Structure 1
Amino acid sequence: MVRRIYVVRHCEAEGQPREARLTDKGVQQAAELAEFFSKIEINRIVSSPFVRTVHSVNSIAELKQIEVETDERLSERILSTKVLEDWLEKLQATYNDLDLKFDGGESTREAMARVVSVVEEVLNGEVENTIIVTHGNLMSLLLKNYQSDFGFEQWQKLSNPDVFLLEFDENEVLLKRLWQDKEVIVASHDISKTRKN
């Protein structure tokens, strides 16, 4: 059975805290996301518990008449618990050194492991089509797990919202970007690669 996981980055938000809500533009983007998914079969939605991620897919959940499940493992990666003036440079370094860590933060490898564990649980379940809603950095690390050259530059090019498809068929996975300027595009990131066990 082919399993499809739609990895969604949240819509535009007012800030970074867990409680940050969507901006007016983000609310409109959430409506556009619902329209985007209106003709796509969805059986399950699993989201980061952050307000901005849940609110990004509430309309999809209502349309599909399914509940949004929340999972802490989809929360944004913590780069450091201290303020880093050069955080962008430090973030870039973590794409090259997967074990690099800063005070109170997670390494790329650690953050990747927790988001991949959500995907593996979904794949071991019964449903065919799942939406996973998360944050930009964590999304990029999930995609990097299946396409190793997905890195800092690709993270910078992600949009709010963004949608990628991970399609699993036996031991093969196809990665495809579906969202760009609200249009479905022919993916330039198609891969066929043996799934990591």
Structure 2
Amino acid sequence: MEKTIYLVRHCQATGQAPDAPLTELGKLQAKELAEFLREREIVHFVSSPFTRAIQSVEHAADQQNLRIEIDDRLAERVLSSENLPDWMEKLEASFAADELKFVGGESGKEAGDRAMEALNRMEDRTVAVTHGNLLGLLLKRIDNGYGFSEWQKLTNPDVFEVKITEKHLSATRLWR
């Protein structure tokens, strides 16, 4: 059994809050994303419950006359419930140490496990919309060589084609 999943990082948003909408540029990016996905014979859209993720694929789903399923397992990872002035350093440390956990947050392992559970249950030709940190953790699960420096190169939006077979996972960046 082989399947293809398209992992999408949401378009540019006004902020990090769960209800933060897309910016005007993000809305234009969502239209570009819809065009990009139109030729890929998508059969299913799954999204994080965050507004910016849903809005990123609304045009694409409408174009293809498909609904968007919400999956909480695709929500962004909470690094910590506390304000971390050095959050970027903490995030980098968490990429290196999978079990590292900060107050009120999820370890990379915990977040990666829930995201992989969602990915493994998706059907062939699914678009899954998530967030930068969680996408980075998924890509690290697929390719152990993927790390913090690769995460820093992610764009809004971004698209990776994931090929899943019984014995192998691979990811290829499609968005340029």
Distance 1:172 1:92 in 2: 27
Spell out the pairing of 1:1-197 with structure 2 (5 A cutoff).
1-122=1-122, 127-180=123-176
Number of residues of Structure 1 aligned to a counterpart in Structure 2: 176
Report deviation, 1:146.
Answer: 0.9
Aligned partner of 1:105: which letter? G
How far apart are 1:173 and its partner, in Å? 2.2
SS in 1 for 2:114: helix
CA distance in 1, matches of 2:68, 2:151: 26
CA distance in 1, matches of 2:61, 2:4: 17
Q: What CA distance in whole angstroms lies between the structure 2 residues aligned with 1:29 and 1:104? A: 33
Query: With structure 2 as the length reference, what TM-score do the two structures score?
Result: 0.98
The Cα of 1:121 is off from its aligned counterpart by 1.2
1:14-71 alpha-carbon deviations (Å, 9 max, x no partner) = 0000110000000000000001011110011110010000000001101111100001
TM-score relative to the length of structure 1: 0.87
Considering only aligned residues, what root-mean-square deviation do their CA atoms show, in Å?
0.8
Write the deviation string for residues 109-129 of structure 1: whole angstroms up to 9, x where unpaired: 00000000001111xxxx420
Q: Give CA deviations for 1:97-138 in whole Å, capped at 9, x if unaligned.
A: 11111100000000000000001111xxxx420000000000
The unaligned stretches of length 5 or more in structure 2 are: none
The 1-side partners of 2:124 and 2:121 are apart by 12
Matches of 1:48 and 1:95, distance apart in 2 = 21
4+ aligned runs moved over 6 Å, structure 1: none
Point out which structure has higher relative CO (alpha carbons under 8 A, 6+ apart). 2
Within 2, Cα distance between the matches of 1:165 and 1:17? 27
